[in-house]
Amino acid sequence: MPLVFDKWETKDVEITDASLANYITLDAKSVPHSFGRQTKKRFEKGKMSIVERLINKVMRSGQGKRKLSGKYVRGRGSCGKKLQAMRIVEEAFSIIERETKQNPLQVLVKAIENTAPREDTTKIKRGGISYAVAVDVAPMKRVDESLKNIALAGFVGSFNKKKPAAEALAEELILASKEDTKSLSVKRKDEVERIAKSSR
C-alpha cells in the first residue's frame, strides 16, 4: 500500500466534520503531485489529495496586496517551485510527528476542521447603498479558506525571521489542530465569523 511521502498512512485518519468529508481527499501517494489533472472541471479539485492542495497553497506568493500584521508578506521564493514546496511540507510533517507522536495527516485534517469558517459576509446593493450580509460558506470554500490561512500563517511565522518555513508551518498546524488562540488561522476564522455575526 502506497504511503504519503513513503512515510505516513492514510487509512487511520478520521474526518469528524461530516460537511467536509467529501472535500478532504486522503489519497496515499508517495509523491503528491497530479500534474494539474484535477483542475480542468468544476469541483474537480475536491478529488485532489489534501496534501497536494496544501503544497499548492504553500507555493503562492504570500499576501501581496493587503497588509498582514502591518507589513506586506511577499513569500519566501517558493512561488511556482513545487519541489521546494513539497520539501517544506514533508519537513513540517516530520516535525509534527516528532513533537506530537501523532500521524501528521490526522493533525492536518484536525487543523482544517478547526480553521474552516462556517459564516462569511458578502456585499449586496439596494437603492445604490451597499450592505454587508452574513452568508453560509460552502464546504469546498471552507477547505480552501482554511488551507489558505494555514499556508499564510506559515509565511508570517518565517517571514524576515530566522525560523525555517517548515518549522513555522508545523507550529501553525499543531496550534490549529488544538484550536489554540495563538494560531493565526484560528484568529482569522474567529474574526471572519465575528464580522458575519454582527452583519446578520
> pLDDT tens, 150-169?
988 887 777 677 888 889 89
CA dist., res. 84 & res. 69, Å (int): 26
The class level of CATH for 18-116+143-180 reads mainly alpha
Contact partners, residue 69, CB within 8 Å, separation at least 6: 156
Q: What is the pLDDT, as a whole number, of residue 70?
A: 56
Q: What is the pLDDT, as a whole number, of residue 1?
A: 55
Would you say the C-alpha torsion 166, 167, 170, 171 has a positive or negative sign? Answer: negative
Instruction: State pLDDT tens for residues 26-44.
Output: 877 777 777 777 677 777 7
Q: What is the pLDDT, as a whole number, of residue 75?
A: 57
Residue type, 9: E
SS3 15: coil
Average pLDDT, the chain: 83
Q: What is the pLDDT, as a whole number, of residue 57?
A: 84
Q: What is the rounded average pLDDT of the residues 63-83?
A: 63
CA dist., res. 137 & res. 192, Å (int): 11
Residue type, 73: V
Q: What is the pLDDT, as a whole number, of residue 28?
A: 73
Instruction: Specify whether the CB–CB gap between 173 and 186 falls below 8 A.
Output: no
Q: Is residue 111 scored above 90 in pLDDT?
A: yes
DSSP-assigned states of every residue in 89-104: HHHHHHHHHHHH-S-H
Q: Is residue 65 scored above 80 in pLDDT?
A: no
Q: What is the pLDDT, as a whole number, of residue 94?
A: 92
pTM: 0.84
Instruction: Specify whether the CB–CB gap between 56 and 175 falls below 8 A.
Output: no
Domain range list for the chain? 18-116+143-180
Q: What is the pLDDT, as a whole number, of residue 74?
A: 60
Q: What is the pLDDT, as a whole number, of residue 95?
A: 93
What is the distance between the terminal CA atoms of the chain, rounded to a whole angstrom? 49
Q: What is the pLDDT, as a whole number, of residue 64?
A: 59
- Nearest by Cα to 137 from 59, 178, 195: 195
The set of cell numbers assigned to 193 is 465569523
Kindly state the percentage of the chain with pLDDT values over 90: 18
Q: What is the pLDDT, as a whole number, of residue 112?
A: 92
